[in-house]
Structure 1
Amino acid sequence: MLHYPTSHNHYTFTYALKACCFLHDDNKGREVHARVIKTGHFSDTFIQNSLLHFYVTQADIASATRVFNSIPKPDVVSWTSMISGLNKCGFVEEAIVKFMSMDVPPNSTTLVIVMSACSSLGALKFGKSVHGYCMRKLSERNVILENAVLDFYMRCGSLVSARLFQEMVQGDEVEPNEATIVNVLSACSSIGALSLGQWVNSYISARPDLVLNGIVGNALINMYVKCGEVGMAVSVFKTLVCKDNISWTCSHTGLVDQGLMIFNAMKNVYRIAPQTQHYACLVDMYGRAGFLEEAESFMKEMPTEADGAVWGALLNACKIHGNEKMFKRIRNGLLKSRGVSIGTYALVSNTYTTHERWDEADKVRDEMRQMGLKKLAAYSQIDVDPNIL
């Protein structure tokens, strides 16, 4: 289009700007903007809104504001684009102020964005007034808007959310979709609303069209874990036909939480002083669940210096999850510690061997020989009464 400057109308400019948005090509978009001005098409509201959308997509709020302010009579699309841009770029309060200055009625898309802004700010009072406007002015129910309203109340910790969800379930016009259910379960996780979460679980079971897999199953597991019902979380996990990485993480999170609870009870309730092997178990638990950073932090916060068992647990976790960067860091820290043992050296050597890094494995073995450490040959014993063979 830029090579053929004649015979352009608002359709060609609009499609060109859409292409620039899709390609995230800021320079070409500005060239189109310049061409719009030169050809005298800037007064076209259709093109003005396209330019506004382009700058919002590029997160260029300053340019978007200039375009918006140059529109003589912004329509609902103009206002919605500007409010959306402010909200997405973190100017949440400004987005609400812009909404309050609208001189045209907002549509459902505008209201979804404003409810999202209210959720971010925790603006319960203003959000309630926006919800009231939705109920008074919108004749048709909109599942996306209802999800936004529901999410708003949940994030603000309001029990109104429970009533709204139940109204959606019991109504005939709008049936909660996966996004609605995930939002509700996520909110239950945040505020510890176990009863509502269990009610949602029952609702899911009664819906034959809802498969307990993917995001719904993961959200349900996460809800039970965050509410302290680890047993239920494991039960849900076992029913999932397709378990993805998030499913495993959610279930492991529950087991980690349970392990920490037992560890803390051992210290604080039963007054049992943790020994090195207890710390090693905790590091191993974190590591096997994939929480390598947490495992390392826990090890650093130990009241005593980590011994070979603790270092070995963390090294083994790095090996399991293929985190080579952390493996190197832990390996260097291990070799400087006083708790190094033949077993941990052997683990380092074996890890390098597994990844066919023979030179590094040989260096570790050389260090072992220099320190006078020798790996004992493995052997097994069986008890054949009365002799041990």
Structure 2
Amino acid sequence: MKAPNLNQIVIRAQQQLLTNPNPQFLNPLLSQLTNSRNAFFDLYNQMLSQPFSHNHYTFTHALKACSFHNARSKALEIHAHLVKSGRYLDLFLQNSLLHFYLAHNDVVSASNLFRSIPSPDVVSWTSLISGLAKSGFEAQALHHFINMYAKPKIVRPNAATLVAALCACSSLGSLRLAKSVHAYGLRLLIFDGNVIFGNAVLDLYAKCGALKNAQNVFDKMFVRDVVSWTTLLMGYARGGYCEEAFAVFKRMVLSEEAQPNDATIVTVLSACASIGTLSLGQWVHSYIDSRHDLVVDGNIGNALLNMYVKCGDMQMGFRVFDMIVHKDVISWGTFICGLAMNGYERNTLELFSRMLVEGVEPDNVTFIGVLSACSHAGLLNEGVMFFKAMRDFYGIVPQMRHYGCMVDMYGRAGLFEEAEAFLRSMPVEAEGPIWGALLQACKIHRNEKMSEWIRGHLKGKSVGVGTLALLSNMYASSERWDDAKKVRKSMRGTGLKKVAGCSWVELEMSNNRLGSNLCTA
């Protein structure tokens, strides 16, 4: 049976108004007209003109329509009518108005309205707390949450109230208060079987980095959905525990308790890319292929492409890039940077040209890959041209990594005067990696004069341990032991310590970390 169209609903409403203008029959028809602003408010005004054809549900439908059509002036008109008609003291309508104002981030009107409610119920409190938290007023939201317990009338929060309070705690990073909210929920037995509350607690612990607490909550949840699994996985990935994130994903797939969604898959692929673990990424790819409802496109396609280029499997990178039907700037930028990172400089520039031909406008990330490719390929003139085009034609404000590519480009070419002039022309102070790149060029070209200039420029400034270590090694290689000793002494004086380098080597689906100071027999 087909649903009635707009004209049929309007005709039925007009007939109802003439024969039996009862709000019990008119309100459902009014609700069906929500998508059509003119038809809805025409009927609403007609119902309002007859004293017995509307009730408080009529006004809640009207406020929902105002939210849907962003009709603030009409909502204010409804508010004024409720005050004038004496219906304003209806708590049901007050809560509807409160919800409207908060949904439109009108915190001032919502707060004034809330204060005018003689006895706000749990819906009133929850709407206010949730609305304030979503509008960026987390501290005020928690203040009102605490005030729920103030005398003379204590209002007991429900699961939705606690979820709103937890969201506010999460935004503020207030782990201590969050634990209190969690404990209160346990006392009320809200946690048992309430997956929404459980997910909110899980999300809070994960975002605050309390991963042991998050894992404990997850393990004790009676009901877990895809949000539960994805939240825990994201928590591990965000904290840098990428192997643990993959373990959660694999357990999720094998348990069949919940089916991973796009967000789950994108997150686990990013985790695999972060540690360059190709075999784990391939396992995820196999899972994607096993699902007929998933396609290598959009966010999943971009994440898969990013994983392969970060893991250095450019053959699969080319294949995945070709599989992505709807290539966006992220697809192009990811592959361009991946090609540059893996030594495919010529392919990088060819792909960039193809990107422009296909009408995709590059972003700042794309230009990092292009400039890096020019630097490593020794294409100085092209690099300068691309940098100027980025800034002047595309209107992209250069960032530190763009400046770093240019300085590296000049340094590799041995053009130290040009590098110095470029550094002086920068509108921002160069950071450690830029100085490190230039020092490396000085080491290659044995330019002690420039290294001395860099040392003088860095004196008294905060730079990374790698830059100072490189400077010290340069002095040592030139047998300037006193200077090397001074740099090392300054490193110790500031508490800096160089961490030993390491590599990740995959052996039969397991990762083995090899320290750079290991000796072979």
Task: Output the TM-score relative to the length of structure 1.
Answer: 0.68
Question: 2:201 aligned with 1:146, yes or no?
Answer: no
- Aligned pair partner of 2:218 in 155, 165, 187: 165
Higher relative contact order (CA 8 A, sep 6+): 1
- Aligned pair partner of 2:140 in 94, 101, 119: 94
Question: 1:257 deviation in Å?
Answer: 3.7
Question: 2:287 aligned with 1:235, yes or no?
Answer: no
What is the DSSP-based 3-state SS (H/G/I as helix, E as strand, rest coil) of the residue aligned with 2:209?
Answer: coil
- Aligned pair partner of 1:250 in 288, 303, 322: 303
What is the DSSP-based 3-state SS (H/G/I as helix, E as strand, rest coil) of the residue aligned with 1:86?
Answer: helix
How far apart are the structure 1 equivalents of 2:385 and 2:203? 44
Per-residue Cα deviation, 1:39-67 (whole angstroms, up to 9, x for no partner)? 10011100100110111111111111111
What percent identity do the matched residue pairs reach?
33
Q: 1:89-238 maps to which residues of 2 (within 5 A)?
A: 89-102=135-148, 103-139=154-190, 140-158=192-210, 159-168=212-221, 173-174=222-223, 176-208=224-256, 210-212=258-260, 214-238=262-286
Question: 1:126 deviation in Å?
Answer: 0.8
How far apart are the structure 2 equivalents of 1:185 and 1:48? 41
How far apart are the structure 1 equivalents of 2:208 and 2:228? 16
Question: 1:10 deviation in Å?
Answer: 1.6
CA contact (8 A) 2:242 2:274 kept: no
What is the DSSP-based 3-state SS (H/G/I as helix, E as strand, rest coil) of the residue aligned with 2:142?
Answer: helix
What is the DSSP-based 3-state SS (H/G/I as helix, E as strand, rest coil) of the residue aligned with 1:100?
Answer: helix
How far apart are the structure 2 equivalents of 1:182 and 1:147? 10
Per-residue Cα deviation, 1:184-221 (whole angstroms, up to 9, x for no partner)? 11111100123532331232232336445533322321
Q: Which residue of 2 aligns with 1:280?
A: 345
CA contact (8 A) 1:108 1:145 kept: yes
CA contact (8 A) 2:66 2:72 kept: yes
Aligned AA (1:164): V
How far apart are the structure 2 equivalents of 1:185 and 1:239? 16
What is the DSSP-based 3-state SS (H/G/I as helix, E as strand, rest coil) of the residue aligned with 1:192?
Answer: coil
Per-residue Cα deviation, 1:252-294 (whole angstroms, up to 9, x for no partner)? 33344446xxxxxxxxxxxxxxx99958369559969998421
CA contact (8 A) 1:277 1:309 kept: no
Aligned residues: 303
How far apart are the structure 2 equivalents of 1:277 and 1:15? 59
Distance 1:211 1:145, change over 3 A: closer
**Structure 2 gap ranges (5+):** 1-43, 149-153, 313-339, 396-408, 410-521
Comparing 140-149 with 235-244, greater Cα deviation is found at: 235-244
How far apart are the structure 2 equivalents of 1:286 and 1:150? 43
Q: Alignment RMSD, CA only? A: 3.7
Question: 2:96 aligned with 1:50, yes or no?
Answer: yes
Question: 1:311 deviation in Å?
Answer: 7.0
